[in-house]
Chains A and B, each alone.
Chain A
Amino acid sequence: MKRLLFALVFLGWATAQSQEIPDAWPGVLEKARGQTVYFNAWAGDENTNAFIAWVGQRVRAEHGIELKHVKITLTSEAVARVVAEKAAGRHTGGSIDLIWINGENFLAMKEQGLLFGPFTQRLPNTSLVDTVGKPTTVIDFTVPVDGLESPWRMAQVVYAYDSARLQNPPRSIPAMLDWARRNPGRITHPRVRNFLGSTFLKQALHELADDPQVLLSPATETTFIPVTAPLWRWYEQLKPTLWRKGEQFPETGPAMRQLLADGEIDIMISFNPNEASTAIGKGILPDSVRTFVLEKGTIGNTSFVAIPSNAAHKEGAMAVANFLLSPESQAHAMHPNTMGNFTVLDLNRLTPADRKRFEDLPRGVATLSAAELGRPLLEPHPSWMNRIVDEWERRYAK
């Protein structure tokens, strides 16, 4: 047994020796050919799954890469996996090559040195990213990306409502409370440990805080209580008017969407401006559903992909990250029948032919235009979200 273990360790060492990544991009693609890339990505959304399957077909045709979508329910599962591998001493040949990540999971991995890179400057398509107009592509929840993760799609908070039951949705956080008081049981949010649940609270905090600028620095013992006091005053009044009197919450965003479909609630929060249109197209939501944003704007962020430091197939992972940034992939993702999310690219940097791909895209029936959506507000530092979640549980979990 000892001899076997020794042999395995030696084998690991021998593999490690050949893991130099070529400097030039063609060399990276050369090594990427034939690799199998294990892409750990949240799989709760069928449209996104279909998109990832399409990416798999394209990178196989283009680069000879086998893309395997490892379907996970929570990104933190993948983070925990890398941690477990690190704990077990596997510093090379890890089982995850690419993770769909952002925000607090990114911060956790960055802080613990679990990420490979910086690598984004080596991807040719990184030069097309709109880092000025879309600052969230380089600052993820206020945390500098530092080339450790590569953007692939934009997200922004919208609220979906059923216009057959509700004509004038409340367009501010205080108005939402007034509306909920008049219509008890008609709104809810996913449980706060779900990212949409905490986003519901963050969005309210952003509007209610005296100075939202504070949210861009890490929350501290001294800032947290005064800054969030208005949020808790608001939520204290809102909670009894929520669905199930605020005693129960849907597990996830899609579970909440089903409540809207069933007519149990009238308003729901979403992080995808196109979610309602896609769901209408598939018969999941009634075609009377529309979306709105708040008058003072809504939070937006960017989805990224990152490569764990112990990834076995870094070249393949880089090639996939680069493909995700290609105009072809970005335009495909933005089609309302695919996912309908906005591109991370700066259209002015594209060739006319590539730009046309975007200009020709149709818009979903319940999707707002870029102008209607407005410029997204910045995500607070992840520490705010962590503390808000803890505080919510301290107050309301019995």
Chain B
Amino acid sequence: MGTPLRQITSPRSAGGLALRLFPAVTLAVFLAPVAAGLVATALPAFGYLPALGGHQVGGAPWQRLLATPGFWTSVHLTVQSGLLATVLALAIVIGFCSAMHDTRLFRRTQVILSPLLATPHVAVAIGLAFLIAPAGWVSRLFSPGLTGWQRPPDLAIVHDAAGLSFVLGLLLKEVPYLMFMTLSALNQIRSAETLVAARSLGYPPAAAWLKTVLPQIYPQIRLPVYAVLAFSMSVVDVAVVLAPTNPPPLSTLVFRMFTDRDLALVFPACAGACLQLLLVVVTLGVWRAGELVFPVLTRRWLTAGGTTKTGGGLRGMWAAVMGTMVAFSIMGTLSLAVWSFAQTWFYPRALPAAWTLSHWERHAADLAGPGLTTLATGFAAALLSLVLSLGCLQNERVNGLGSAARALWLLYTPLLVPQIAFLFGAQMLLVRMDLDGTWIALIWSHLLFVFPYVFLSLADPWRSFDLRYRNSALALTGSPLRTFLRIELPLMGKPALFALAIGFAVSVGQYLPTIFAGGGRFSTLTVEAVTLSSGSDPRVTGIYALVQAGLPLLVYMLAIAYPAWRYRHRKGMG
């Protein structure tokens, strides 16, 4: 991409100095508790936790962990489903973009996918299970007519031993997320011009995209891809709904140990949490190695002439793949809705035998409290994350600190460490400071997980910002603050609002942080939904999952609609 333009050095101002504080403050807010959480996890992993009678340091917890029945299957499942979900998600996004980038459908992708992105993982997973289970809606729609089934077939579709439905459930969320990141990144490069040039040289559209746009895009979506990989390997709630159970993936195994009635299991649980971290780090390393090897292997193809065949069939296939993903999500959500109005709905009826509003009436009042807590926490965490992210990124730009950018890598720690292990230590810290069960603790705990996503979403578009805008504005106004507020922020409004919406959605989906830091004193829609889903009245689960999905959806729609409306008269900004 050539040497970046040297920016005009701004005068030493108070603002520039204040900006310098952002990385420090951010690191303090995050790193200290993260470090404490890690230490508090690592110590019991080697046997030290006096409160539970652990005074002898040694490898016993690890031996106990390794002796856990089904342990290696769990590890294998974790790595396999994590990698599979990430590779497939990336392949679908790249395949779809390369094949569809010049279609009308592509320009509307963002709008079509936003509901999928907004829906919390658990709601998607529950909806998918409602849909594809042997007694699920699909089976009901075709039974007994086409299948002849009077009873659900004895098939392990959900919780299948290979973890395929688990991977599918992850894909339904990861594909929209990567797609959004890719679309945001596409706004930052001159893909249209590059493509015109490539195609005028005779490359077919898909090949042109893969050879000229992808190499520019991938560095910008690298961090989101890492986040997807780490998330897929350590998620608990989706795994509980869809993954194999006997044994489950490592994350669920560890989670079960932490919540087991046998308190001695805290030791191997901590060891398992450390191992999970190790697994994630190693897998990320393997992925990184793959990133380095891949261009070497494909160099011949990348630089070869444009003779690759890409027909309409390819385009149809990718549209179908993406369409299926959308259909699964929408039908899953719809089945939540149908259940929430069902009076009685026994197999194999395609629709409930009787409908009722009574479930909604009964739960309307109960929804208000958790709904408000969800809103307040979500907005507080997302806004704080946005401010911190903007501060850090602007500091990077103004004060040009490359090392600070590297230090910010540490902020991704919350995305790499399994939540449960991390929170165990963090909770102890909060209790010591008498902060557990307060709003501060709740919002901070959400911030840990919200901030990285907001930062990840914002960082690459921000860093790709064409500095000539800023330099011109600085030259004209002489004020870094005005330049920031009048030029940089509005030009970055779209990614900033996305980041806010993503942050809100991430907060809405948090289960374990709410439980741990909230001290059980705060109930959010997710807590209610997960708790009720263990009660398995699909009608009540449907209500909570729907409302839980609805809130972030609303915020997403606003995040998309607002810039489009606000900048409707300005080309390229809407």
What residues of chain A have their CB less than 8 Å away from a CB belonging to chain B?
A: 5, 8, 11-12, 38, 40, 43-46, 68, 70-81, 83-90, 93, 95-96, 104-105, 108, 112, 185, 191, 193, 243-245, 247-249, 251-252, 254-255, 257-259, 261-264, 282-284, 286, 386, 393-394, 396-398
Contact = CB atoms under 8 A, between A and B. Distances in A.
B534 interface: yes
A38 B437 CA distance: 11
A73 B534 contact: yes
Nearest to B241: A251
Contact of B154 (A93, A243, A283): A243
Nearest to A192: B246
Contact of A257 (B431, B536, B540): B536
A108 B70 CA distance: 26
B372 to A, nearest CB: 16
Contacts of A38: 520-521
B469 interface: no
B214 interface: no
B253 to A, nearest CB: 10
A12 B432 CA distance: 11
B523 A79 contact: no
B428 to A, nearest CB: 5
Contacts, number: 163
Contact of A95 (B49, B134, B266, B519): B519
Contacts of B523: 71
A77 B515 contact: yes
Interface string B414-444: 0000000000100111011110110000000
Interface of B: 49-52, 68-70, 73, 134-135, 150-152, 154, 156, 159, 161, 240, 244-247, 256, 258-263, 266, 342-344, 346-347, 354, 424, 427-429, 431-434, 436-437, 515, 519-521, 523, 527-528, 530-532, 534-538, 540
Contacts of A393: 68-70
What does DSSP make chain B's interface, helix, strand, loop or mixed?
A: loop
Contacts of B519: 81, 95
Contact of A87 (B51, B161, B344, B532): B51
Contacts of B436: 95
B343 A283 contact: yes
Contacts of B342: 283
A84 B521 contact: no
Contact of B521 (A8, A70, A77, A249): A70
A251 B240 contact: yes
A46 B534 CA distance: 11
Contacts of B49: 87
A383 B18 CA distance: 61
Given A87-B49, A398-B73, A262 B536 contact: no
B156 A247 contact: yes
Given A43-B531, A70-B520, A84-B431, A284 B537 contact: yes
B432 A88 contact: yes
A394 B259 CA distance: 19
| Best-surrounded residue of B244, B535, B540 (most CB of chain A within 10 A) | B535
A248 B246 contact: yes
Contacts of B431: 84-85, 88, 90
B266 to A, nearest CB: 8
B420 to A, nearest CB: 11
14 contacts: A44-B535, A45-B535, A71-B527, A79-B261, A87-B428, A88-B428, A89-B432, A95-B521, A193-B260, A244-B154, A254-B537, A258-B536, A262-B152, A263-B346
B437 A95 contact: yes
B259 A74 contact: yes
B245 A191 contact: yes
Nearest to A165: B151
A68 B523 CA distance: 11
A105 B540 contact: no
A104 B161 CA distance: 31
Contacts of A112: 263
A252 B532 CA distance: 11
B346 A398 contact: no
A185 B154 contact: yes
A87 B52 contact: yes
Contacts of A245: 154
Contact of B538 (A85, A249, A258): A258
A264 B538 contact: no
A249 B156 CA distance: 10
B531 to A, nearest CB: 5
Contact of B535 (A83, A89, A254): A254
B534 A44 contact: yes
A251 B534 contact: yes
Contact of B246 (A191, A283, A284): A191
| Best-surrounded residue of A258, A396, A397 (most CB of chain B within 10 A) | A397
Contacts of A261: 346
A263 B432 contact: no
Given A68-B521, A84-B431, A244-B154, A397 B528 contact: no
Contacts of A83: 51-52, 263, 266
Contacts of A397: 69-70, 246-247
| Best-surrounded residue of B154, B519, B520 (most CB of chain A within 10 A) | B520
B261 A262 contact: no
Given A76-B260, A386-B262, 11 more contacts: A11-B434, A70-B520, A73-B531, A76-B261, A79-B261, A88-B428, A95-B436, A243-B154, A255-B536, A283-B354, A396-B69
B434 A248 contact: no
Given A185-B154, A243-B154, A398 B520 contact: no
| Best-surrounded residue of A79, A83, A84, A93 (most CB of chain B within 10 A) | A84
B246 A249 contact: yes
A104 B265 CA distance: 14
A81 B538 contact: no
Nearest to B363: A46
A47 to B, nearest CB: 10
A105 B530 CA distance: 22
B245 A249 contact: yes
Contacts of A398: 69-70, 73, 246-247
A86 B51 contact: yes
| Best-surrounded residue of A46, A78, A88, A286 (most CB of chain B within 10 A) | A88
A310 to B, nearest CB: 10
Contacts of A93: 434
B517 to A, nearest CB: 11
A78 B69 CA distance: 26
